[in-house]
Structure 1
Amino acid sequence: MCSACSAWGERRRARGGQRRRERAGDRGAVTAELALALPVLLALTTGLVWLLAVGVAQVRTVDAAREAARALARGDDAGEALALGERVAPDGVRLTVARSGERVVVRARGRVRGPGGLFGSIPGATLQAEAVAIAEEEGGGP
């Protein structure tokens, strides 16, 4: 082998060694980045799931107020109408009834707790809904 060829081979091996050492310094960087990003992704997912649960509870609260107001407007017994609304409502929601002339107003109010656990610092959410119905005339029909 000629001396120029062996010198070229030595330089090539030396450069390859530098590249390997540079890459070796980056080893584990992806693992470290993932270890930092994973808790953030977990917190974000937990927050989104909790917000979805609050949204579902709010819809159920609106439905409960509407069902109770509709039943009262039909002339159903107040106890039965409130029981119907409470079956639809999420746990902890209270229904109140007010009448003003022929109008029946049902208000629903409750609270959803925060996610708890590691996320205990997130406060709960207040749920509110109001439904108004016009009382039907008794004995009216086609």
Structure 2
Amino acid sequence: MRPLARDDTGSATAELAIGVPLLVALTAGLVWMLALGAAQVRVVDASREAARAVARGDDVAAATSLAQRIAPEGARVRVQVGDDEVVVTTTARVRGPGGLLGSLPGVTVSADALALAEAS
């Protein structure tokens, strides 16, 4: 007795139909993580540059403006000046990049920077 031949027609299509959405979802997640990483780097840079500027003796308003230009859009910058140190905190809310990734939840990124005030 000869075994019945299996017909594999269509199995590749079914596998592709399952695999492509998974790959798209994985790619979307990776793009979102890259966007969050870039935003985190920007808030770190913004805090650091503003703390340096105030520690050098620059105006707090000018340093805040500098930090807001570096940070993601809509970032909040808080500058605390002590006797011998400056602490700058930058916080930004990062939304999904839109389109297919628009449904992803927003995330808040934040960074603190401390600089010792330079003697005048």
TM-score, scaled to structure 2: 0.89
The residue correspondences of 1:101-112 to structure 2 (distance < 5 A) are 101-112=83-94
Q: List 4+ stretches of structure 1 deviating above 2 A.
A: 114-122
Question: Does structure 1 residue 89 correspond to structure 2 residue 67?
Answer: no
Report which of the two has the higher share of helix: 1
The residue correspondences of 1:1-142 to structure 2 (distance < 5 A) are 19=5, 22=6, 25-117=7-99, 119=101, 121-138=103-120
Partner Cα distance (1:90, 1:115) in 2: 13
Partner Cα distance (1:50, 1:43) in 2: 11
Partner Cα distance (2:71, 2:50) in 1: 10
Between the aligned residues of both structures, percent identity stands at 57
Partner Cα distance (1:30, 1:119) in 2: 28
Partner Cα distance (1:134, 1:119) in 2: 41
Displacement after TM superposition at 1:122 (Å): 3.0
Provide the alpha-carbon RMSD of the alignment: 1.9
Displacement after TM superposition at 1:118 (Å): 5.0
Displacement after TM superposition at 1:42 (Å): 0.2
Gaps of 5+ in 1: 1-14
TM-score, scaled to structure 1: 0.76
Higher RCO structure, 1 or 2 (CA under 8 Å, sep 6+): 2
* Higher Rg of the two aligned structures: 1
